[in-house]
Amino acid sequence: MLLTTVKADGKTEYELLAQLEARSGEVDKRVTAAVTDILTAVRERGDEAVREFTARFDGIDAPVRAIEREELAELAKACDSNIYAALTRVAENIRDFHARQLQQSWMTTKEDGTILGQRIRGLERVGIYVPGGTAAYPSSVLMNAIPARIAGVKEIVMVTPPPKSGGFNPDVMAAAYIAGVDRVFLCGGAQGVAALAYGTETVPKVDKIVGPGNIFVATAKRLTYGVVDIDMIAGPSEILILADDTANPAYLAADLMSQAEHDMLASSILITTSERVAKETAEELERQIESLSRKQIIEKSLVDYGAAIVCRSMEEAVEFANRLAPEHLEVMCEDPMSYIGRLDNAGSVFLGQYAPEPLGDYYAGPNHVLPTGATARFFSPLSVDSFVKKSSFIYYKREALQAACEDIVTLANAEGLDAHAHAVAVRFE
């Protein structure tokens, strides 16, 4: 059987959870050391170092160059018309959803003339990392660039490895054009992240780096955090399906495999109150997997990190779901809407039998860049908020400051900061 079935007893299911939390493994010290060397070289030698690493890792020895909007438009024309039309429709859904997240600056005035407020504006420049080759996903370009554009980011640049074949991925180029990317720079890997973080003669320094990548890209993002902001350090993909006796096992099996095909480390968990549903889902997996092209990856993922957990009640199932805090959480229950207020920890929640996870990956509009590895307990999906910065402002009249003087001086002196106290008191001596 591809899917191990266990009965919840307050212990077994949490042993499984511990196994899932450990699946990403420790940080590879050799990768960290190699990436550190790349970052240092690019910071010190700019384009020259980027070119050297691109020749070494991508097999292309060419100057770093930019693709401007005009050339991007031409490259987008090579995209299949049906794919281009689909990308355009999806982009509209993403824009519609994320436009509702936009916050406004605000200001309030008190009776004594005090003015307080908050100014919200988009970041100056954001960099999007896009993998090359088979891992190039145009949907991710849309999901990363469109919220940034809505947030008011002044310039969106993208880095991607130069194509070894000499031809560009037309779907990625079309997505970049549709999403409003300003310039694309042909450099990938850790050196591409370094170029964005530190800037080179050709690649401008950005304020934030977003987008998926391999372990070298993820490590480079982690090591440059603080020099720039980043979206998150994404771990292996994961799905948890909450199902009662009304769920369709054929749908459950298909949805579990939709995540398992991402990666051998991906986690696909079914949690249900029905032994029958667990058994029939396992049988459906055996049947459906035979027709799928990524069968070997799915099998490895399900055997190592998949499971069906039979709980004693839906309350117990919900408690476990909140503890697991999955990236994707499907609710395949009789009344899925009744669970919205009870499921507190999940990147994105899919309600009902006609809201499969790929609907969120490709079409509906909510962002598919989601927290993994139980970080949904404290992290949120990528959003317009990810691309804005906020600053507060304060205006006090003399009389208002005088009324606050005693309290400020008292607290400043209590903290041993008498220069703070003096900076207020001197105005009334």
CATH number, domain with residue 14: 3.40.50.1980
pLDDT-based confidence at residue 3 (cuts at 50, 70, 90)? confident
In this prediction the pTM is 0.93
Query: What value, to the nearest 5°, has the Cα angle with vertex 416 and ends 412 and 422?
Result: 50
Q: Give yes or no: residues 105 and 200 share one domain.
A: yes
- Pair (162, 225) in one structural domain: yes
Q: Report the distance separating Cα 429 and Cα 419, nearest Å.
A: 15
- Residue where the block lists tokens 């009870």: 342
Higher pLDDT, 270 or 232: 270
**Same domain, residue pair 53 and 191:** yes
Last residue in a domain, options 196, 230, 264: 230
Which residues of 289-402 form beta strands (DSSP E)?
Answer: 306-310, 328-332, 348-351, 388-395
Is residue 109 within a helix (H) or strand (E), and if so which, with residue range? strand 106-109
For residue 200, what is the enclosing H or E element?
none
Parent domain of 412: 396-428
pLDDT digits (tens, 9 = 90+) for 369-393: 999 988 999 999 999 999 999 999 9
Number of domains making up the chain: 3
pLDDT reported for residue 152: 97
Residue 378 lies in a domain: no
Q: What average pLDDT is seen over the chain? A: 94
**Is 384 inside any structural domain?**
no
Catalytic residue among 238, 261, 299, 327: 327
pLDDT band at residue 24 under the 50/70/90 scheme = low
Instruction: Look up residue 178 and give its two tokens.
Output: 């549709």
Active site residue 319: no
Buried b (16+ CB within 10 A) or exposed e, 290-326: eebeeeebbbbbbeebbbbbbbeebebbbebbbebbb
Mean pLDDT of 82-105: 97
Amino acid in position 145: A
Catalytic residue among 328, 330, 357, 368: 328
pLDDT for res 133: 63
- Residue 247 domain-assigned? yes
> Model confidence over 294-342: pLDDT tens digits?
999 999 999 999 999 999 999 999 999 999 999 999 999 999 999 999 9
Same domain, 305 and 321: yes
E-assigned strands of 33-93? 66-67
Task: Please check whether residues 226 and 278 belong to one and the same domain.
Answer: no
328 is catalytic: yes
